[in-house]
Every structure is written in structure tokens, then in C-alpha cells.
Amino acid sequence: MDHKVAQLLEMGATAAQARAALKQYKDVMAAAERIFDGSFDHVRDDDGDIAMSPARDVPEPRKSGMITPEADDDDVEDNDDEDEYDSDDVEDFADYDSDYESKADVGQGMSKADPYAGVFFSKDRREEVIEVEEEPETAFVSEEKEEVKLMTQGQWMKGCPEGGEQSFLFTLYNELSESECRCPNGCDYSVQRQKRDFFPLFSEFSTYTKHLSKIVQRTCLKCSKKFCYACGEPVGSSKYSDQHDCLFHCPNLQGVILGVGLAMLESKFTEDLEQSASDKTRKRRQVQISTPQPLEVDVEEDDDFYPPISQTKKMKLGIGYAGDAREDTSGQLEALAAQRAKDEKLSKLLSDIRVFLPSIHRAGGGKPSDFLVHPTALAHLRRRFNFVSSQLLRNDSLTDMSDRSVLYFELLNWLETISCHEALASMMAMPIMVVTSVKSINSRKSSTSHIRERTIVYEGSSGPRELLEAIVIQAQAALKGLEPIKIEEEETVEMSEEQKRITNDDKGKGKDVNKAVAEENEKLLGFCTRILATARAIDRSLRDLKGDAFVDRLHTSLPKIPGSASAGEDRQVVDAGDTEESAQKAYIEWANRVRFEYCDLTVSSSDTNDDVPNYKFYYNNEARMLASSDIPKRSLAIAKELAVLTTNLPVAWNSSVFLRVDETRVDIIKALITGPEGTPYYNGCYLFDVFLGPSYNHAPPSVKYMTVSGTNLDLLAPHCSSFLQTNGGKFRFNPNLYQDGKVCLSLLGTWSGPGWIAGKSTLLQVLISIQSMILCEEPYLNEPGWATAAGTPQSKAYSANVRRMVVKTAMLGNLRNPPEPFADVIRTHFRLKARSIMKQLDEWLQQDDGRPIDAANQGGSYKAVAGSSSAGFTKDVDELKGLLQKLIDGENIENGDGSGTA
């Protein structure tokens, strides 16, 4: 088959259209332009179908892209029009959208409803790829008078392949590095291509494009006609309006420019990562406050993520005993300035490369290469740009992203541009293949260089649109935090002349004080708005190009935006399965969905004249006092806090944190922490009321230790539906948790050690510190003066006492009387872990020493309630096991008030 016909077939034209266009226009580019402007829409294939206008329910013509991992050989062959052209002549077309029916349920009509039903969304994929590293060559580039390294073939082909990508990459590299470029006018003139022509790695991308602009148009020394040095096709005589216009002539140029440009981007980005990691290593010190591990962090990020909660190998010391250590903030301004400079350079590089992305919507209309997308362009975008974008999109701090908005705005521009091109749009849904390990390294010598072969293991991870959704969730939470507190409008009263004069005199004074804060609020607001606009634009483009069914399938795989726990929606009952492995998987999936939700914490008041509601909250009075307050700095801090909390609360089988935030007052928060594995608190549910006061986050939040109890509510705030997790003041679970609910923690200013850092410390740090430092393996060590008594009989006895109290109150008490708004969370927590908790209870019974509680050490007498392991403790364990079995069997559990829930 003629090479020119093959080129047109790659972009989606039918064979009949290609032949008809080439009969009239000998030049491939001219033929392509005429096909795309509709001049050949009337040309039909032999089967009578009209090309270029496919119906939604019919598979579209194949375009140059990448084969999805699910594509079967039979499916690919069935899609080839063997009557029109020989597939061997055109090689193996690669297309994201090639396997239309490969996995679709044709019997139910899925393929008709969604012609892209075969596009691969699953991340359950693993590939082993042998990659070659060669010693780079150097060459002197006369046009730029510079000695540079040349891109090796191994660098060019680096990454996890899809379908026939490797053959396209190999062919283009060899064609542009060592083949002859002949004059297309038949005069036998040719030019020998060299690697230094198309593959020099300059320090600046602009230098590379300038270099290409100088060499890409050649004039035949025999016929004096111009031709393209990259593809060997004729070049029109018209002059270009811009020096770079000549670089949009053909797919070969597009492929090599994006390949080399994205290699420069990846190299620059990796250098910045390594430099940042090196700086952190030099400045790293022992940090006392643990922070959570974000989801799906790549191995390259291990300097930025937080350690998981683990209680089994920690230093046997109490909390807050690090002396007067303070965080070293020296050099922060210099570091921020350095980061800003790096981001500006990276943003400029991204912007320069984006000019060459295929885009039919560019100013002045699409260029030839915008329609003829080369398969190597798709390969490099998926391999190299996806690496950079995934690293940036995995950032778990909206504040950091906002501070680096110059870089993130450009990243959003890239995502929008990619989603607007039919040949690229499916990339938004496909998983990103990331390096998980290097299995082996083999070295060998060739006649020209030293070569290393490495076996790289790639695994699927979240795709670009899925990663963006996590940021969308943060942005929506931040916007909610920036909303003013909703209060009823007061009746407008006409001011006197004296009042007007005073008001005029005061104008501008408050604005001057809060100007910087207001600007920062506006900056964050603008950034969040842009994130949401980008997500909508991507979805809109995908619907236009791929159809509603495609986008609907994509959205089912996205992380869910936190909803309302008080909306009364029907929650699906989560099935734990028959094994602990299935239970763990179900638990993680469930906990990720419900770890952060908004809810209604207000209490109906009998006082009809009271416009300010009461709240089911320990700090009800403090919250009511701030009902009409507008504190911009506080609003900004809360907005940033909510953005982090929505997607970064730690969730694990061994310990999780759940939050409920009032839907109209985001400063009112309730927290539930499940006890970590390996501690006497394991699987208990511990509740806290959190209030972000008027000085937050210049000052720490207010935190009270709470749980449910059916009596003595008047001892606390009048409208608080919770009671202290001390069984009426009898229990003290930890030296840092008092009977009155006080939480002793250096971050809160209630314990010795490093304290709250204004503007830097977060509520998330407080929650994780409670989870890891207070709910610890040996709580006895947290008592002043006992920090070195690890493993002593006194410490073991203290832990035994805690276990008994945990069973009675944090497990049995919460299960019988689950406190709102965590009733559903508590019941599901115990149901999914019921079998595991039963085994745990048996182990605790065996470990119990049978001795009564030491009231002096526990802050209260437990003996009168539970006695010893042979009496009260055993009774509590048996009762708890009975309730757990009811949960397993799907039976209702009667609450303390006589009602029942499953």
C-alpha cells in the first residue's frame, strides 16, 4: 500500500477518501487538509458508509493512538478493513479506542450505548519492560555553536509501551537520525540525516526549536525547490508569519519535538525532585508529631509522605518529653524563593512545549500536524507528561498548590488542551503506568559504547482525571470554608448624620489592616475556581468527543466528593465477605467514602426569638458567640484546613480517623478515632469535639475528649448530646486524657514540648498526634516521671486496666448507644471487624492478670463496676461478643433508649 495513503489512514480517513484526495492533491498535507474541511465527505467506501461522520452507536474509524491493554488480537483484526488495505503495509495501528467490543457486554447493547466501552480504566495491570541505557554521545551543533549531548535510542524509547508504540518510536528515531532524505521532486538529490539534527539535548527548549527552525526547510541543490527535512515532502512557497510555523508541517516534526521537549521536561523535573530530596535529607531532624500517609504515593515521593501509624516499633518514651525543642524555621524564606524560581522555570518550559501539542482550537486555526497526530507524540505524552503531571497532582496540600499557582495553572492548561483533542482525550481516563521496582541490571559492551539493560516493573495507578478529582474535592471544601457564616439578615436601620460621619472617618482603616489577608483569600478563591472550571471543561470535552456513556463510566471510578451524613440517604450495607482479606478490602473502601462528611449538628430551640442556633457540641456557647463574626484570616485558615482534611484523613484496617463537620458552621467539628493495633486501645472508638476558635490558626483549636452516655448530660454544655469518655468521670484512659475531657498535648499548649506554630501547625497534626502518641502501646509511660518504665509490671498492669475500660466503654458502650453523628460509622466499624475483634477479645482475656483496677493509678475506681477479669471483664467480653454476632447475622441491636438498629 502506498505510503501516502497509509499516512492518511493513520489519522482516521478511509482508504476510499485517501485515494480520492491523493488523486487530486499529490501532497499528503494538502490532501489531509481537504479531507478535514469536508471536501471528501461524499466519498463512500465499498460498503456504502459515509466516512468522517461516524454515528455515536457505530465504532469510529481508527486513529493513530495507542492500543488499550484489553485489546485482543481478534478484536483488532476485526476492526481492520481488509478489503480496502493491507494492514501489514501500515503496521499495527495503535489506538486508545481500538477495542470497541473487546470487553463490552454486547448482548446487553453496551457497545451500542458506549462505542468506547473498551477503553481501559482498570489499574490492575503490571508490565515488565527491558529498558536500555547507553552512554550518551556528544556532538557540536554548528547552527548554535554549542557542544551538546545527543538523545540516545534508549532515552527515546523509555517507558511502558502500549500496543505497537515501540515500532513507531524505533522507526521515527532511526529515520531522523541516520536515513537519507530525498528530494520529493524526483531529481535524485538527497541529504543524509544525522542524530545531531533532531536529537540534540540543549539546556533550553527554545534553543532546540530555534535550531530546528533553521534546518527543517531544505532547498534542493538541483531543482531549487523546498522540501521538509523531517518528512521529505514538498513545502509551499508561501512565507511563514512566524519562525516556528515551519515546525507544524508534518507529524514527524510533531513527534520529535514533543519527544525531545518532554524528555527535557522530565529531566528538569526529576532534577528538581532530587535536589529537594537532598535538601530535606540534610535538614531532616527528629519530628515528634506524626502525620498521615497520603493515598497512592509513588516511590519517588518518599521524602514528602508521612509514615503510617505503627505502634509496634516505637521508642519507649512518653510524649512531650523532648525538652524545649522548637522547630527550626531558619531558611524558610530562602527555600520558598528557590521553589518559586524553580516553578517559574518549569512553568515556562511547559508553556513553550504546549505550543506544539495537537490542538485544532489554536488561534488562527489548526495546523497540519494538529490533524495528523503522530503515534510517537501520544507515546511520549502518556509516558513522560503523565509522570510529571501525576507527581504534581498527587500533592495533598491545596495551600502548597495555591502558593505554586504559576506552575499549577500551566498544568491545568495542559490537561484542558489534551482533553480537547479526539486523539488524546482518552488519556484522561487511562491509568498512569508508574515504576514500582527495578528487578535487575545487566551490563554489556558494544563496539561503540557501554550498555546497561534493566528490567523495569510498571504498575497501573490513578489516571489524570482521577488525580484531578482529589484536588477538586479539596477545592470545593476550601470554597465552603471561605463562605461567610450564614446568619439571617438584620433589618436595615437608617443611620443618623453623626453615624454617617463616623463611618466615613473610619473608611479604609480596617481594609489596610486586612488587605494582605483579603488578597490571600482572593488568591485561594481564584485558584479553587480555576480547578473546578478545568474539571468541568475536561468533562465537557470528553462528552463531546467520547459520549455521555464514556464520561459516566469514568465518573464511577473517581473518588467521591464528601456528602452530607444527615441527608437521610440510603446507605448500602457493606459486605465483609467470608475472609479477613475481603473484610479488610471492604473496610478500606467503606472508610475512604465516609471518613469526611458534612452533617447537621444544630439543636432545635424552644426559644423562637433566638436567631442563633444551638449545637450538639461541647463548645456550643463559644460557637454561638462567633455566629455573626467575619474574620478573614480565620476563614482562610479553615479553608486550607478543610481542603487537607477531605482527602488526607488516615484510613487503615488497624486505625482510622473520621470527621463530621457542621454543614453551615465549618468551625464546628466532631472527630472519631479508632484505636491503633498493638495498643490496649485497639478497635475502640474515641470521640472528640473540636472547635476552631476566633484566633485559629494563630492559636490551636479547642479539643475535648467525648463519648456517648445516656445520663448526666446537664453536667456539660446544656445542648451537648455527648458525655465524656470516662464513664461519668470514673475512667481515665491515659495520663494525657483527664476525667473532665481535657486532652494534654504539646500542640494544644496543654503539655510540655514543641507547641503550636502559628500559621503552620494544623488540626490534622493534632488528630494524628492523639492517634499515635496518646493512644499508644504503653500509656503508663505518658505519666510524668514514668517515661523510662517500659515493660515494668506497673506498666503492664496499667495497660490491663485500660483494656478492661476500653471493652466496657469504647466498645460495648459505643455499640449499645452509638453517639450521633457517628452511629452508622460505629456500627459498620464493628460489623466489618466483628470476627477480628472476637479473636482480639479472646487474646485480651488470656493476657488479663485478673487483678482489680488500681484506682490511684487510673484516676478512678473501676473495681466497683467491672471487678476482675474473672467477673466484670469476662461479662463485658461475653456481652460484646453477643452483640458482634448479631451484627454478623444481620440482626438489630437494641439501643439504650429501647430503639434498635442493624
Task: List the catalytic residues.
Answer: 744
Q: How far is CA 307 from the centre of its chain?
A: 18
Strand runs labelled E in 643-691: 657-662, 668-674, 685-691
The amino acid that residue 454 corresponds to is R
Q: How far apart are CA 524 and CA 532, in angstroms?
A: 12
Q: How far apart are CA 895 and CA 598, in angstroms?
A: 24
End-to-end C-alpha distance for the chain, whole angstroms = 69
Query: Do 858 and 794 touch, CB atoms closer than 8 A?
Result: no
Strand runs labelled E in 55-194: 126-134, 138-141, 146-150, 180-182, 190-192
Peptide bond into 821 cis (omega under 30): yes
Alpha helices in 355-463 (DSSP H): 368-371, 375-380, 386-393, 398-403, 405-419
- Find residue 455's DSSP bridge partners: 130, 440
Grid coordinates representing 189?
538529490
Grid coordinates representing 583?
473484610
Strand runs labelled E in 759-821: none
Q: How far apart are CA 635 and CA 411, in angstroms?
A: 27
Q: How far apart are CA 749 and CA 765, in angstroms?
A: 14
Q: How far apart are CA 67 and CA 74, in angstroms?
A: 13
Grid coordinates representing 249?
508541517
Q: How far apart are CA 204 and CA 264, in angstroms?
A: 8
Half-sphere exposure of 336 (CA within 13 A, CB side): 9
Residue whose C-alpha is closest to residue 379's, from 168, 152, 200, 201: 168
Inter-axis angle of helices 3-10 and 15-24, nearest 10? 130
Q: Cα dist. 240→183, 184, 245, 352, 686 in Å? A: 21, 21, 6, 19, 70
Residue whose C-alpha is closest to residue 751's, from 733, 727, 734: 734
200: enclosing H helix or E strand: strand 200-201
Grid coordinates representing 177?
537520525
Dihedral-angle region of residue 326 (phi above 0 means left; psi in -120 to 50 means alpha; beta otherwise): beta
- Find residue 219's DSSP bridge partners: 226
Q: How far apart are CA 341 and CA 346, in angstroms?
A: 9
* Per-residue 3-state assignment (H helix, E strand, C coil) for 31-66: HHHHHHCCCCCCCECCCCCECCCCCCCCCCCCCCCC
* Residues whose CB is less than 8 angstroms from the CB of residue 155 and which lie 6 or more positions away in sequence, other chains included: 136, 263
Q: How far apart are CA 553 and CA 558, in angstroms?
A: 9
Query: Do 5 and 18 touch, CB atoms closer than 8 A?
Result: yes
User: DSSP secondary structure string, 471-500?
Assistant: HHHHHHHHHHHHSPPP-PPPPP-PPPHHHH
CB atoms within 10 A of CB 659: 25
Query: Do 658 and 595 touch, CB atoms closer than 8 A?
Result: yes
The amino acid that residue 519 corresponds to is E
The amino acid that residue 503 corresponds to is T
502: enclosing H helix or E strand: helix 497-506
- Find residue 228's DSSP bridge partners: 217
Q: How far apart are CA 472 and CA 478, in angstroms?
A: 10
